[in-house]
């Protein structure tokens, strides 16, 4: 079992105080996670000892940096259970870039007028806008995969929305607003039966749940590093090797080529075909260290800790009068995310007020405007948890929420 | 930096009891703006007669700052000449940009929003209605 009070000691940021002398109650890890010392040290060591551009030079330093970068790729391949190993891992600067890569490169080659792209109603804009662009370019149509009032994928509608016109089904592994963990394998089975592919947005899922892309049945799996203890600018795409082989490149430039003439070029083997230009290689080395760190904690322990925390948060928050929690009621069905609406206090005001107590939460539409409309709320407040959060953090949130309500709902003593 | 600077009583009063929050039939200016960052939405509506604001109203949803700012705006501009509205908008923007020497007399109750300046991420909430008004007036002038 993971002890968050010990885990916190690995994260230097918790040594600081905010708003005078208040401890930092960080409940915004779905936005970005904090970084453990191990990752910060890996970055420092890389820059101090091994920094040289990768795959280009012959000297010792360059060999070391290339080895560190490719080593990170191997770690990611294992962490995600890539059947064909590191050649199936393309590094990108973000999960968003990874999804854009698929929408442009795969989409350009495979989408035609009359084709359908199925997208769930709970997607982050990063798994929607690239597909809108791909649809406009190809004449394909976007079809919504509805969700239930509880915030689960509406599996009863699945046979209606996934048809022989469907070319790809795009679904998040875990909702950044509702926390819903989607039954990807079930969706993949239905999609594959219709000859469609499945893209999983793993931005939220990867940091919190053990991942095996083959068991999920995914064809594309996009992930980001900065939500899983890694540096910003790190992330990537896993895709089945045969898909990557068949896809045209996305970005053109250095390193993704084999031979170049003035009017044409041949392309590098996968995954390098998709890595044009100087990559954020130090960040990827940092991401490799983050994977090591999470493996040391154990992803099963990470998950158990979060189920417990979310259960506690649901219990404490739902006891507040006038507070509505969105998403599944069962902690087993959701990741470490709780979004809620509090009567009389707008999320923006709530977030500002609890901040003065050192409590960091996100307020807004969470880049999911389609979902906000479906929930019929203008915005929500979101508290999200990770390995360093404790039940006391939830208590601090609950107390601060009480303060916010008092301020906004009653007369002030002037 | 205290929350009392942000949430002045006059702001909370306008938030809890918004003035002129209603439809306005036959409005000459009717414009909706939203803040894509947080989802706040404000429609500002103005009836113009003889080059002046005959009536003003707003509708929308959002945080206390955006709602109070819109409510105060509608109260303030009633009866004002369109020509003077632009000066008022400038004055208000100046205050939100933290400019010293803002004309407190011209702004009246709106001075209560001064505390927002200390919360940079919330300035957008306060100016949302004003952006809407400014664009609405410009569009109206082009059309008339």
* pLDDT tens-place values along chain B, 144 residues long: 688 889 999 999 999 999 999 999 999 999 999 887 777 899 999 999 999 999 999 999 899 999 999 999 999 999 999 999 989 999 999 999 988 776 677 788 899 999 999 898 899 999 999 999 999 999 999 886
Q: Using an 8 Å Cβ cutoff, are B26 and B57 in contact?
A: no
pLDDT of residue A413: 42
Q: Which of A349, A369, A407 sits opposite B63 (nearest CB)?
A: A349
Q: Tell if the CB–CB gap between A378 and B40 is shorter than 8 Å.
A: yes
Give the closest of A348, A356, A408 to B38, CB-based.
A348
ipTM: 0.86
Residues of A designated as active site: 367
User: Within an 8 Å CB–CB cutoff, is residue A347 touching chain B?
Assistant: yes
State the residue range of the domain holding B17: 3-143
Q: Do A378 and B41 touch (CB under 8 A)?
A: yes
> Is the backbone of residue A221 left (phi > 0), alpha (psi -120 to 50) or beta?
beta
Which secondary-structure segment (H or E) carries B56?
strand B52-61
- Name the strand (E) or helix (H) holding A76: helix A60-80
Domain borders along chain A are 4-30+298-409, 40-295
Question: Six-digit token pair at A296?
Answer: 């040391």
Separation between Cα atoms, residue A367 and residue A387, nearest integer Å: 24
Nearest CA in chain A to B14: A408
> Which two structure tokens, joined as six digits, stand for B137?
């007036």
Domain A40-295 has CATH 3.40.640.10: yes
CB contacts, 8 Å: A369 with chain B: 39
- CATH architecture, range A4-30+298-409: Alpha-Beta Complex (3.90)
Cis peptide, bond prior to residue A94, ω within 30 of zero: no
Write down the pLDDT at residue A321: 92
Q: Average pLDDT across each block of 10 residues of chain A; the chain has 414 residues. List them in order.
A: 96 96 97 98 98 92 97 98 98 98 97 98 97 98 97 97 98 97 98 98 98 98 98 98 97 93 95 96 98 98 97 96 94 96 92 96 91 90 98 97 87 44
Count of the separate structural domains present in chain B: 1
**How confident is the model at residue A412, as a pLDDT?**
45
Biggest distance spanned by C-alpha atoms of chain B: 46
Beta carbons of B37 and A364 less than 8 Å apart: yes
Return contacts of A19-25, CB within 8 angstroms, 24+ apart: A19/A355, A19/A356, A19/A357, A19/A358, A22/A357, A22/A358, A23/A358, A24/A358, A24/A360, A25/A357, A25/A358, A25/A359, A25/A360, A25/A393, A25/A396, A25/A397
Q: CA B100: distance to chain centroid? A: 20
Segment A104-124, tens digit of pLDDT: 999 999 999 999 999 999 999
Q: Which of A209, A233, A292, A279 is nearest to A36 (CA)?
A: A292
pLDDT in tens, A237-278: 999 999 999 999 999 999 899 999 999 999 999 999 999 999
Q: Measured between CB atoms, does A379 come within 8 Å of chain B?
A: yes
CA distance A365 to chain B (A): 6
Hey, what are A64's tokens? 């070391």
- Which 8-state DSSP code applies to residue B81? B
Which residues pair with residue A117 across a beta bridge?
A: A142, A168
Nearest to A352 among B6, B15, B62 (CB): B6
* A153, β-bridge pairs: A147
CATH no. for residue B135? 3.90.1010.10
Q: Beta-strand (E) ranges in A229-345?
A: 235-239, 257-260, 265-267, 323-326, 337-342
**Are A4-30+298-409 and A40-295 equal in CATH topology?**
no
Cβ of A352 and B39 within 8 Å? no
B64 vs A contacts (CB less than 8 Å)? 346, 349, 408
- The nearest alpha carbon in chain B to A372 belongs to B39
């Amino acid at each position: 079992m993971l002890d968050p009070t010990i885990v916190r000691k690995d994260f230097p940021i918790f040594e600081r105080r905010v708003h005078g002398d208040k401890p930092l109650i960080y409940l915004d890890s779905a936005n970005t996670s904090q970084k453990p010392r191990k990752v910060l040290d890996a970055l420092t060591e890389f820059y101090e000892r091994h920094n040289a551009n990768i795959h280009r030079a012959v000297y010792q330093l360059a060999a070391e940096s290339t080895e560190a970068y490719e080593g990170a790729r191997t770690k990611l391949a294992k962490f995600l259970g890539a059947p064909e190993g590191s050649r199936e891992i393309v590094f990108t600067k973000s999960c968003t870039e990874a999804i854009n890569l698929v929408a442009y490169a795969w989409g350009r080659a495979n989408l035609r007028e009359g084709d359908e792209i199925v997208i769930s109603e709970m997607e982050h804009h990063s798994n929607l806008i690239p597909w809108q662009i791909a649809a406009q370019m190809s004449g394909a149509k976007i079809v919504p995969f509805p969700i239930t009032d509880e915030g689960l994928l509406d599996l009863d509608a699945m046979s209606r929305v996934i048809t022989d016109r469907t070319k790809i089904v795009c679904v998040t592994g875990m909702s950044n607003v509702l926390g819903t963990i989607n039954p990807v394998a079930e969706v993949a089975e239905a999609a594959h039966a219709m000859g469609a592919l499945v893209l999983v947005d793993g931005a939220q899922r990867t940091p919190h749940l053990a991942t095996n892309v083959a068991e999920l049945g995914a064809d594309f799996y996009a992930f980001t590093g900065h939500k899983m203890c890694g540096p910003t600018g790190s992330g990537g795409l896993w895709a089945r090797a045969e898909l990557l082989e068949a896809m045209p490149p996305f970005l053109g430039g250095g390193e993704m080529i084999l031979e170049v003439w003035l009017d044409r070029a041949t392309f590098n083997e996968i995954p390098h075909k998709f890595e044009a230009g100087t990559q954020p290689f130090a960040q990827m080395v940092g991401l490799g260290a983050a994977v090591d760190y999470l493996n040391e904690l154990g992803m099963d322990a990470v998950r158990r800790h979060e189920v417990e925390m979310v259960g506690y948060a649901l219990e404490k928050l739902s006891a507040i009068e006038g507070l509505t929690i969105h998403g599944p009621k069962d902690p087993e069905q959701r990741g470490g995310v709780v979004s809620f609406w509090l009567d009389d206090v707008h999320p923006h005001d709530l977030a500002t007020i609890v901040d003065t107590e050192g409590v960091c939460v996100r307020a807004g539409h969470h880049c999911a405007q389609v979902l906000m409309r479906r929930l019929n709320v203008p915005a929500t407040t979101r508290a999200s948890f990770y390995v360093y959060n404790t039940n006391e953090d939830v208590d601090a949130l609950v107390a601060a929420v009480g303060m916010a309500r008092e301020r906004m709902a009653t007369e002030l003593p002037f | 930096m205290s929350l009392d600077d942000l949430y002045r009583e006059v702001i909370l009063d306008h938030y809890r009891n918004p003035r002129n929050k209603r439809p306005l039939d036959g409005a000459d200016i009717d414009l909706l703006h939203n803040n894509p960052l947080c989802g706040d939405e404000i429609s500002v509506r103005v009836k113009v007669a003889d080059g002046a604001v005959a009536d003003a109203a707003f509708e929308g949803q959002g945080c206390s700052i955006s709602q109070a700012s819109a409510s105060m705006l509608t109260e303030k501009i009633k009866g004002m000449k369109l020509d003077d509205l632009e000066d008022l908008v400038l004055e208000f923007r100046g205050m939100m940009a933290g400019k010293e020497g803002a004309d407190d007399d011209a702004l009246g109750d709106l001075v209560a929003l001064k505390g927002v300046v200390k919360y940079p991420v919330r300035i957008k909430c306060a100016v949302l209605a004003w952006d809407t008004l400014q664009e609405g007036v410009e569009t109206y002038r082009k059309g008339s």
